[in-house]
């Protein structure tokens, strides 16, 4: 359990939810930002990714060799992150700076720099993994801490997704949150080196709870690579967190002792396709219907809105599946735990347990879906989708991926 005061930042165009600051919805610090637009959380570190690239990071030079960034002086000095040149001259470069400051400095600390036109930009600290860089040198520990934090925030789609961070840096700390059940992966390296060293390894759940732009969805143009062979699981090559935090994350990987582990959940704003393992056909409504009591079938995926579903956690372990076209949820006929009962669309209810679905991993990146009214049953494909006792058949196993 975390015993320190972790903090998160809510920028003026972002939204705070449920006591912890949940970030999403815009580019952080892309323009001048007021330090007053912030809030704190006493025990949780919930953050958001969306850094689509790390500007200037190449296989030839690290950030310290490009874009006017020096690691030998403080961020607030004129010889550190230089105004008017390098990273400050482009939107993508300033986005890199925003995440860099956000990772390095604690809440309430700011850095102001100007672009090549003399326009000032104020960047807000949030996490504070390397506070020493504000006014002093950024040594090896500082560089690795910033690297792990920044890599953990990369989203190659540019989309903002809520994440839970875990790590041995005291500004992050170990500890789990049951709203983020899937261990996506861990990040480590040194992007300030030349050439830059940017690495990740696969968490035990990297194929589950997938979200756009993150591990498990076939990222394109990602700035990091997995240095480990085969499946590249962290658990096979990294040193786990010490007791009493066993299972939370990792304290060392590939010779690096500053590691950030990311946990995630399905993104409630993303539309997903849910496809059967046996034939690849995806959940759909009969004839694309949207009315109450419309039955559920499977069909070849075309991208139709009737084949797209939003997956929102109602409570830990239970999700509602809302059809994107109908805006109605997946339910069981009559809400009864009877074998062979069909599934259908129905208006959402906060009381109907038949509308709550468990996603139980089958161990190979697929799931069995179990309705809340009958924990022994599972969605089974056919002319219409019905609930039947789970037997392990591929007709009862489903993949979940962002719709495309």
Give me the pLDDT at residue 65, please: 36
DSSP-assigned states of every residue in 257-273: S--EEEEE---TTSEEE
Give yes or no for a contact between 323 and 329, defined as CB atoms under 8 angstroms apart. yes
Give me the pLDDT at residue 88, please: 85
Q: How many residues does the chain have?
A: 404
Report how far apart, in Å, the C-alpha atoms of 328 and of each of 370, 377, 386 are: 18, 22, 18
172's tokens = 């992050």
195's tokens = 């050439």
271-402 CATH choice from 3.40.50.1820, 3.30.980.10, 2.80.10.50, 1.20.210.10: 2.80.10.50
Q: pLDDT of 39-92, one tens digit each?
A: 223 234 677 777 766 765 554 456 543 334 455 556 654 334 677 777 888 888
Least confident of 26-35, 95-104, 201-210: 26-35
Q: How many CA atoms lie within 13 A of 260 on its CB side?
A: 29
Is the pLDDT confidence value at 4 over 50?
Answer: no
Mean pLDDT of the region 166-171: 94
Name the helix (H) or strand (E) containing 101.
Answer: helix 91-104
Angle between helices 91-104 and 140-152 (to 10 degrees): 120
Give the alpha-carbon dihedral of 224, 230, 233, 237, to 10 degrees. Answer: -90
Question: Which residues in 104-152 belong to E strands, given as ranges?
Answer: 110-114, 120-124
Give me the pLDDT at residue 1, please: 33
Please report where in the chains the tokens 């992150």 appear, as a residue. 81
Mean pLDDT of the region 91-106: 89
Q: pLDDT of 319-340, one tens digit each?
A: 999 999 999 999 998 887 788 8
Mean pLDDT of the region 3-13: 26
**So where are the chain's domains?**
46-264, 271-402
What is the average pLDDT score of the chain? 82
| CA–CA distance, 21 with 44 (Å, rounded to integer) | 9
Q: Higher confidence at residue 71 or residue 262?
A: 262
Select from 264, 271, 298 the least CA-distant residue to 394.
Answer: 298
Give yes or no for a contact between 199 and 253, defined as CB atoms under 8 angstroms apart. yes
Cα end-to-end distance, the chain, whole Å: 39
pTM of the model: 0.84
Give me the pLDDT at residue 94, please: 87
Mean pLDDT of the region 4-21: 24
H-type alpha helices, 318-401:
none
């Amino acid at each position: 359990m975390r015993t320190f005061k972790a903090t998160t930042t809510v920028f003026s165009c972002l939204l705070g939810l449920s006591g912890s600051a949940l970030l999403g919805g815009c580019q952080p610090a892309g323009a001048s930002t007021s330090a007053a637009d912030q809030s704190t959380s006493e025990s949780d570190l919930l953050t958001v990714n969306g850094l689509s690239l790390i500007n200037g990071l190449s296989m030839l030079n690290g950030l310290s060799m490009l874009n006017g960034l020096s690691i030998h002086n403080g961020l607030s000095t004129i010889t550190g992150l230089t105004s008017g040149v390098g990273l400050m001259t482009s939107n993508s470069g300033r986005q890199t700076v925003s995440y860099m400051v956000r990772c390095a400095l604690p809440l309430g600390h700011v850095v102001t720099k100007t672009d090549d036109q003399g326009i000032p930009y104020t960047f807000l600290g949030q996490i504070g993994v390397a506070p020493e860089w504000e006014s002093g040198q950024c040594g090896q520990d500082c560089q690795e801490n910033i690297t792990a934090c920044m890599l953990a925030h990369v989203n190659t789609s540019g989309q903002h997704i809520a994440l839970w961070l875990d790590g041995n840096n005291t500004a992050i700390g170990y500890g789990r949150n049951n709203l983020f059940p899937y261990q996506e992966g861990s990040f480590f390296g040194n992007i300030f080196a030349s050439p830059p060293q940017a690495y990740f390894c696969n968490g035990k759940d990297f194929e589950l709870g997938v979200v756009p732009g993150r591990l498990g969805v076939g990222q394109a143009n990602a700035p990091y690579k997995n240095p480990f062979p085969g499946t590249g699981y962290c658990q096979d090559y990294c040193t786990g967190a010490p007791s009493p935090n066993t299972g939370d994350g990792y304290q060392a990987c590939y010779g690096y002792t500053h590691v950030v582990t990311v946990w995630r959940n399905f993104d409630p704003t993303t539309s997903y396709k849910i496809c059967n393992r046996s034939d690849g056909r995806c959940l759909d409504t009969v004839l694309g219907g949207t009315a109450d009591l419309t039955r559920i079938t499977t069909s070849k995926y075309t991208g139709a809105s009737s084949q797209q579903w939003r997956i929102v956690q109602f409570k830990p372990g239970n999700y509602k599946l809302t059809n994107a076209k109908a805006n109605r949820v997946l339910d069981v006929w009559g809400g009864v735990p009877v074998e062979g009962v069909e599934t259908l669309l129905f208006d959402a209810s906060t009381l109907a347990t038949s509308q709550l679905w468990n996603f139980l991993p089958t161990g190979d990146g697929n799931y069995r879906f179990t309705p809340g009214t009958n924990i022994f049953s599972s969605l089974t494909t056919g002319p219409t989708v019905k609930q039947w006792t789970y037997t392990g058949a591929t007709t009862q196993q489903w993949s979940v991926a962002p719709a495309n």
